Structure 1
Amino acid sequence: MSEKPKPARTLAGIAGIVAVATLISKVFGLVRQQAIAAAFGVGVTVDAYNYAYVIPGFLLILLGGINGPFHSAIVSVLAKRDKSEAAPLVETVTTMVGGILLFVSIGLIVFAGVFIDIVAPGLSQTDQGLQIRAIAIQQLQIMAPMALLAGLIGIGFGTLNSADMYWLPSVSPIFSSLTVIGGLAFLAVQLGNQINAPQYALLGGQFLAWGSLLGAILQWVIQVIAQWRAGLGTLRLRFEWWRPGVKDVLKVMGPATLSSGMLQINLYTDLYFASYIPQAAAAMNYSGLLIQTPLGIISNVILVPLLPIFSRLADPIHWPELKTRIRQGILVTAITMLPLSALMVTLAFPIVRVVYERYAFDKSASEFVASVLIASSLGMFVYLGRDVLVRVFYALGDGETPFRISVVNIVLNAVLDYLLVKPLGAPGLVLATVGVNLFSMVALSWFLNRKLHGLPWRELTLPIIAITGSSFIAGLVSWGVNRGFEQIWRSDNLLVLLLQLGISALAGLSVFALCASRLNLPEVDMFVSRLKQRFLKSDK
């Protein structure tokens, strides 16, 4: 049978495909953010966009993202079924979800002002805030159809991944970046140095919003064409709610959506407090992208190939192997995230300067964003580790446990935001999120331990402690090299900054690699071997 070779593709092969595609997508996402920063800095236009994008962006990440609940639900069900069942099942779920989200989109257009006031109540207290509010309302009305598109994109991601198609879903977010970059380039040609002038703030906001919407449309269209060609469903409306598999999809999709939605409610809580701090929303968005770029790449490399494997090992007779895979997922997460976290904490300021500091984005903006980046970097491991554990629950058909924990997290996040925002400002809001993710990871581990009748705690905790220590040493080395470089050759030249950042990061990573090689962990060898397979072309 012709389908056999695809499922036989190695985990390393899948991870390599996803890594390259996601890297391309994230690079363009970073360029997009650089273009926005250069055009608007941390001013009115980009502040408004960050508030307006909360709901469309929330839905795009929640419903349309790789590893989101729609993707997870579709993969976990289709991975266990024959391909002949895929098209009618996908069409039925698409019809149901599309109908609901169409009404959501209409509601966003009609009640845009109400939603902006809920997201950012602090905007109504100053003249500048009222200007930001007016721009944000129009941007939200333009981007409202992204609610519908988000659900369709998420279903498409899961459908294509379940058929062993990883390249297109992972690279398709590039279209959103390209349309925004193209719109800003056109605007820059027309307005020149006046692009950030107050009188053009509304026009700039419109270009950002239309670019985001057009990118989502292109992303969906590309997926539909791929599904159609693969025989995995068309745009046909199908109302067969009783079809086998639909109930299974909804069983995972419902709680998973609610659970993931709780995470976004935490984001709303952060923005609620941020609306009282000038430029905080923009700073959190800029630093968030710097965190999400490596997180998104590594998260997809780890989670995308592991989710179908978790699903196939859901039967109790396979639990010993499932526990091994869980250990692999957590330790690979630690090996990648902990050293990156250490480097980003110690090199936050030069990173922000290299990436963003030009034109409207000045040195004071770099200092503000760097302080938020330091706080964000501290939580990289627990953010991704939590996601690994959540996917195990989804594979086991249990979306309720992550949902219950997420409900508790809402209260915890609000309390931490309230306690930390006054003494620490915007970084305090980010640290609150780090604390919530840490609590989630601990709680999920505890419940999973009970569900699987024991996890290999010793084999998990001791290596993580050792990797943390190695990362701390690497961070100290990179900090020392960076400080020494500043003493010898202080300069604002971009090439000098790049050289300084590169040497400091390389020194830290080299020390971590040396320390990690002495730990004798099979996950370290596995990670290195996957890199060699990718870059030396030894994996077919």
Structure 2
Amino acid sequence: MKKIVLVLGLLTVFSKFLGLVRDIMLSYFYGASSVTDAYLISLTIPVTAFSIIGTGIATSYIPMYTKISKERSKELADNYTNNVASFVIIACTVIVIIVLAFAEPIVKIFASGFEGETLKLTTNFTKISIFGIYFSGLIYVFSSYLQVKNKFFVTALMIIPYNLVAIISIMLSSFNITILAIGSVVSFAAQLFFIIPFVVKKGFKFNFRFNPSDDYLKKMIYLSLPVIIGASVDQVNILIDRTMASQVMVGGISALNYASRFNGVVQGIFVTSISTVMYPIISKMATEDNIDGLKKTLSQAIIGISLLVIPATMGIMSFVEPIVKLLFGRGSFDSHAVTLTSSALFFYSIGITWFGFREILSRAFYSLQDTKTPMINATIAMGINIILNILLSKYLGIGGIALASSISGILCAVLLFISLRKKIGSFNIKIISISFIKILCASAAMVIIAKISFRYLTRYNSDNLSLSISIIIGGLIYSILIYIMKIEDLNSIIDSIKIKFKKKNNETL
């Protein structure tokens, strides 16, 4: 598992780097403006419209496919996949019709502060971008299919064609702004067409075969409903954040987007890589009633996330403005946009580690076919987020909206910890806590040394070069400290590397 996570992490680094380049290009051409606000909301609407359903399907699909394959046959499991894909196409068609018929009122729901030309532009963008859900819907199904077949690398790489097309469309939009919306649809199409050959290679043949009376489909939908509600809670949080931002100031949505996207890079590189590999493994363990194995894998995943995300989080919070200037501070991205985005990024970063914990813990519940508990906890967190959004945005503006999301994310993760422990018993909480404290100490020392280095280097070099060198110095210090402190999961990784190295030497001799 650890070798796969490492390779998957490297692939994700590259794909997330392209995603960051996409956002940098967007900030260069349009900054934090009404155009970027319109574009981002037009993307939010189709993503929200289907990701709610798609997340539920993808989450319930993997345990169900594994169960059918084990108890029945691969042929029946593939038939089940065809039925799910057909159901997705029908659901997408219904959503497209609704959005086309009520585009402007829907836009007003997602961004109540939009008026005039911004509202008109967003509505036109939305009528085009909504067709992308056909492709994104099927991506949910077929990427889950490939994960069951242990084709993790393909699903990690599929974001690359998406980002490449998106980057090109942003550049071409300087000639015609409508290309921004068209590019979003083509980006999803490129992603789907990238993975189809790999799906076919595994022996799967798609046939439109919708059977609403199929017992497996019914059970999947039943299991998906709590996940769908839980996912809708997350989407409602995003909706609330962006609606509040549209009321606070022009460019507020863009600032939140740039900040959350950068945090998403950290999440994608470290958290998604671990959770993607972990989920099929613990789903199989749950099917085989191997709870001890599930606990061990879960513990390793939590420590792994802490090991990677905590230092990244503390580094972001300590160098937030230089990081924003390094990534986005050019073109139309002026000093006002830097200030807005820095504030949002700082407060979003407070909760990033806990968002990772929430992802891992939710997957543990889903593997046990308990989709209700994450839904309930997410609903509680949403209520907290709404209240805090209203209160904190009055005092901290865009930063308050980001802080509200972080606090609600922390609360949700804590509730999931408590609920899971009640369900499966203790899963090495003591070891996790000790490792967590060691990582915090090592990260604090890393930040102190990196800050001292940055202040010294800026006397002789540019801020960007000084920041880059300081990050490298901090990373080296952190690596040395966690090795000296003997972090539990790090030791097992090093031991496995030593064993493999010895085996290769023996084979060579």
Q: TM-score, normalised by structure 1?
A: 0.87
Aligned with residue 12 of structure 1, among 2, 6, 11: 2
Report the equivalent of 2:18: 28
Of 87, 91, 112, the residue aligned with 1:96 is: 87
Name the CA distance, whole Å, in 2 between partners of 1:343 and 1:59: 35
Of the candidates 94, 107, 112, which is equivalent to residue 103 of structure 2?
Answer: 112
Given the superposition, is the C-alpha separation of residues 80 and 231 from structure 1 closer, same or farther in structure 2, using an over 3 Å criterion? same
Residue in structure 1 matched with residue 139 of structure 2 by the alignment: 153
Q: Deviation string for 1:210-259 (max 9, x for gaps)?
A: 1011111121233333322322231x121334546434433432221221
Distance verdict in 2 for CA 1:298–1:527, change over 3 Å: farther
Q: Where in structure 2 are the equivalents of 1:491-530 lying within 5 Å?
A: 491=462, 497-527=463-493
Tell me which residue corresponds to 1:475.
Answer: 447
- The answer on 1:38 being equivalent to 2:28 is yes
Separation in 2, partners of 1:72, 1:261: 14
d(CA) in 2 for partners of 1:167 and 1:296? 14
Q: 1:251 to 1:90 in 2, by over 3 A?
A: same
Could you tell me how far 1:85 is from its partner in structure 2? Answer: 2.9
Extract unaligned runs of 5+ from structure 1: 1-10, 125-129, 191-202, 492-496
Q: Is the 8 A contact 1:36 1:46 kept in 2?
A: yes
Cα distance in 2 for partners of 1:222, 1:463 equals 40
Question: Is 1:250 the counterpart of 2:221 in the alignment?
Answer: yes
Q: Select the residue among 161, 165, 169 that pairs with 2:151.
A: 165
The AA in structure 1 aligned to 2:78 is: A
Which residue number corresponds to residue 122 of structure 1? 113
- Note if 1:228 corresponds to 2:219: no
Conservation of the 8 A alpha-carbon contact between 2:49 and 2:95: no
Of 420-429 and 522-531, more deviation after overlay is shown by 522-531
Q: How far does residue 63 in structure 1 lie from its aligned partner after superposition?
A: 5.3
Corresponding position of 2:322: 350
Query: How far apart, CA to CA, are the structure 1 residues paired with 2:24 and 2:212?
Result: 45
The letter for the 2-side match of 1:29 is G
Match of 2:62 among 72, 75, 82: 75
The one-letter code of the counterpart of 1:513 is: S
State the distance in 2 between where 1:293 and 1:531 align.
27
2:163 and 2:312 map into 1 onto residues whose CA distance is 25
The answer (yes or no) to whether the contact 2:52–2:229 under 8 Å persists in 1 is no
Aligned to 2:358: 386
TM-score by structure 2 length? 0.92
- Take 2:317 and 2:361, find their aligned partners in 1: how far apart are those partners? 25
2:229 is aligned with 1:261: no
Q: Which amino acid aligns with 1:35?
A: M
Change (3 A) 1:219 1:317: closer
Deviations for 1:374-409, whole angstroms, at most 9, x for unmatched residues? 111111110111000000000000101111111212
Amino acid paired to 2:105: V
Q: How does 1:146-295 map to 2 (within 5 A)?
A: 146-188=132-174, 190=175, 203-204=176-177, 206-234=178-206, 236-243=207-214, 245-278=216-249, 279-295=251-267
Structure 1 residue identity aligned to 2:227: A
CA shift, 1:315, in A, is 5.2
- Equivalenced residue count is 499
Task: Tell me which residue corresponds to 2:77.
Answer: 86
Pairwise CA distance, 1:33: 0.9
Q: Residues 385, 150 of structure 1: CA spacing in aligned structure 2 closer, same or farther, 3 A cutoff?
A: same
How far apart are residue 28 of structure 1 and its match? 1.4
SS at match of 1:518: helix
- Please give the root-mean-square deviation of Cα atoms over the aligned residues, in Å: 2.4
Q: Aligned equivalents of 2:139 and 2:349: distance in 1?
A: 29
Identity of aligned residues (%): 22
Q: What is the CA distance between 1:532 and its match in structure 2?
A: 9.5
- Once superposed, which parts of structure 1, at least 4 consecutive aligned residues long, lie more than 6 Å away? 529-535
| Inter-partner Cα distance in structure 1 for 2:43 and 2:161 | 17
Deviation at 1:457, TM superposition (A): 2.3
Q: Deviations over 1:20-70 (max 9, x none)?
A: 332222121111111111111112211111222222233565555xxx433
